[in-house]
Amino acid sequence: MGSEEGVIEQSFNVRYSSWVREALDEMNDSFVITDPCICGHPIVYASSGFLKNFGYSKDEVVGKNGRMFQGPKTSRRSVMEIREAIREERSVQISLLNYRKDGTPFWMLFHMCPVFSKEDGRVVHFVGVQVPIFSKRRLSGGQNFVSFSQQGSGIRDVAYRCCRREVCSESVKNLTHMLAKNSVVVSDGELIIEENCEASEIEKRKSTTAISNILSVLTHYSELTGRLACGKRYCTAGIVPLNAALNISLGRIKQSFVLTDPCLQDMPIVYASEAFLRLTGYARHEVLGRNCRFLSGPDTDPSTGFLINECIESERACTVRILNYRKEETSFWNYLHISPVRDASGKVAYFVGVQINDLCADQDQEELRPEMRQLSTVAAIKVAVRGSSMTSTS
């Protein structure tokens, strides 16, 4: 758990100065920030307004995926629209029925946008703002529903509980007609608002303003670290960043590995797994954009490097045992498997390097042999890359 918490902390600490959390804490808006580069695309920050709206504590939310707030009446179509926006790395603004910790459903306007690294153009975070939608939760005369899941024997009981004063039978009849247009009452008396609830222009403007303010804070505090973040994509030096969907798919793979791009000069690393960062001791920003040879040291056998280069030039796989060095300069024997990864058209899009610390390879006899672990990792990466290239061209 400590390791996971460290990854979450690093998501913010590497990109922004230490004051960013304090600045975000002062904002009254309900929002979360997620990191698509971490396995599971977890929430790495949740505002106090968000925690208040949903009834959770910070520890119950940070590190979890946003799907935890969905429920039985959440529109699957809306969820797919959000997932598609993540895959295409674009903004989306959509009405969504979510659930509080106590199980109470409520409508909100969900506005999500990507945060890009100005250095290489890749998505480093997503910001998700939630604005409660009140238009469908009010009755004529300004009366409010007590809750979205009231128990009772029928619509007449719900109507009486919604009113603060006694009403005549004709009023109840009119109220019944109005509720029937905007809601559904199931057999146990539960009141569920239909999925066509739309946000007002005021609510839409409120979400847009919140997004703008949050991006301004993130941009400002990223300038203080020199790791610039912004709301628009800037691609430099011909580097095409991995899309968010591929980042998320690769993040689910637990093995230590890197992806390198053979189409770019010096074949730089474009993706590094969390296990690789733990193995080598480097932070992600210290790895991306560099050639894998930076792991070599004074006692690394040059002939091994020549063998690797020959396999890359001939686009074939190879397995070697090479002496590598961690950030703190301690050495380890790396049982390394390198393989080309082709896209849907059959072209080599990347090379993957899967690393296993040779000293730990045989410690657990119940695990797969190192060779099988590497091959299964390569297979999972090939599926992710091929699937991503197919959706991007469709």
* Residue range 293-344, pLDDT digits in tens: 999 999 999 999 999 999 999 999 999 999 999 999 999 999 999 999 998 8
Poorest-pLDDT segment among 62-71, 203-212, 370-379: 370-379
Domain with CATH 3.30.450.20 in the chain: 2-133+198-230, 253-393
What gap in Å lies between CA 287 and CA 213, rounded to an integer? 31
CA angle 141-145-150, nearest 5°? 150
CATH topology of domain 253-393: Beta-Lactamase (3.30.450)
Residue 19: the pLDDT is 92
Phi, psi of 211 (to 5 degrees): -60, -45
Does residue 97 register a pLDDT over 80?
A: yes
Phi, psi of 31 (to 5 degrees): -160, 160
Does residue 93 register a pLDDT over 70?
A: yes
Residue bearing tokens 């959390």: 21
Q: Does domain 2-133+198-230 have CATH number 3.30.450.20?
A: yes
Return the higher-pLDDT residue of 2 and 198: 198
pLDDT tens profile 238-259? 556 677 788 888 988 989 999 9
- 155-183 average pLDDT score: 39
